Amino acid sequence: MVTVQENDFDLVRRFLAGEEVAFNMIVKKYQKKIYWHARQMTGGHLDADEVTQEVLIVIFNKLKNFNFNSSLYTWIYKIVTTRSLNQIRRKQVKRFFSIDDKEEFDLPGKQDIVTELDAKEKIEKVRKVLEKVPPKQRQIFIMRNFEDLSYEEISEITGKSVGGLKANYFHALKKVLELTNEKE
């Protein structure tokens, strides 16, 4: 039986051999994960879309540097987490130099891929909580709660120690639960 990793490696090899369709398959496989991580991190569709496209372009351009030592999923995740944090930083810097006090998170706009009212309410609730959690803690919270990643996997992606991640997740969880209680 072919494992997920072997399958991914095969796709990478095919892409490196010039098969563009292999890249399309990688995108199809991971695009939602990429988008939703970026969406939870940045809070809005427009930012998430920007990050997602950026990540896919990086994958396309840098896949030739993929060393097959880690899983493709971890490699992609590293790019997503870095780009999402960068997007938040960019916005913070813009906000710092901006006269008007804009939100760090995108405000819900007309342009969104979530269209159902109930779903919109749910996602808005999460957005309001996450925007108050510091980005690094938010990152761990998202990876643990929304993506079910183990500390070991997160450690490989972020390069942080498991102990440090546990401490970060503890604070994130505490903050999230406090905020959830406040809202009730």
Partner 1 sequence: MKKNSERIIEYLSGKLNEDEKKFFENELNTSVGLKKEFDDLNSKLLELSSVREIKTNETYFSNLIPRVYQKLETEKKLWSFKKVYYLIPTATAVIVLFLFSLNSNNDYNLGYHELASQVVNNISDQEVSEKYSAELESDPGDYFMADNSGELNVQLPADIDLKNDAYTRLVGNPLANEYSTLQNLSDDELEIVYEKLNSTTSQKVQK
Q: How many residues bind partner 1 (CB under 8 A)?
A: 36
Task: Determine, following the binding rule CB under 8 A, whether residue 182 of this chain makes contact with partner 1.
Answer: no
On whether the CB atoms of residues 103 and 92 are closer than 8 A, the answer is no
| Whole-number Å distance between alpha carbons of 161 and 166 | 9
Specify the residue, 50 or 104, whose C-beta has the smaller distance to partner 1.
50
Which one of 114, 131, 132, 160 is in contact with partner 1 (CB under 8 A)?
A: 114
- Least spacing, CB of residue 174 vs partner 1, in Å: 5
By CB under 8 A, residue 169 contacts partner 1: yes
Stretch that binds partner 1, among 67-75, 82-90, 122-130, 153-161 (CB under 8 A): 122-130
Q: Judged by CB under 8 A, does residue 122 bind partner 1?
A: yes
What is the maximal distance between C-alpha atoms in the chain?
A: 59
Is there binding between residue 145 and partner 1 (CB under 8 A)? yes
CA distance 158 to 162: 10
Q: What's the min distance (Å) between Cβ of 22 and partner 1?
A: 12
Residues 146/147/150/152 CA torsion (nearest 10 deg): -120
**3-class SS at 31?**
helix
* Tokens standing for residue 87: 């997007």
Q: Do residues 177 and 129 make contact, with C-beta atoms less than 8 angstroms apart? A: no
- Per CB under 8 A, 73 contacts partner 1: no
CA angle 118, 119, 120 (to 5 degrees): 90
Asked if 129 interacts with partner 1 (CB under 8 A), we say: yes
Q: Within 43-72, which residues bind partner 1 (CB under 8 A)?
A: 49, 52-53, 56-57, 60
Distance CA(72)–CA(65), nearest Å, equals 12
Tell me which residues touch partner 1 (CB under 8 A).
24, 27-28, 31-32, 35-36, 40, 49, 52-53, 56-57, 60, 113-116, 119, 122-123, 125-126, 129, 145-146, 151, 166-167, 169-170, 173-174, 176-177, 180
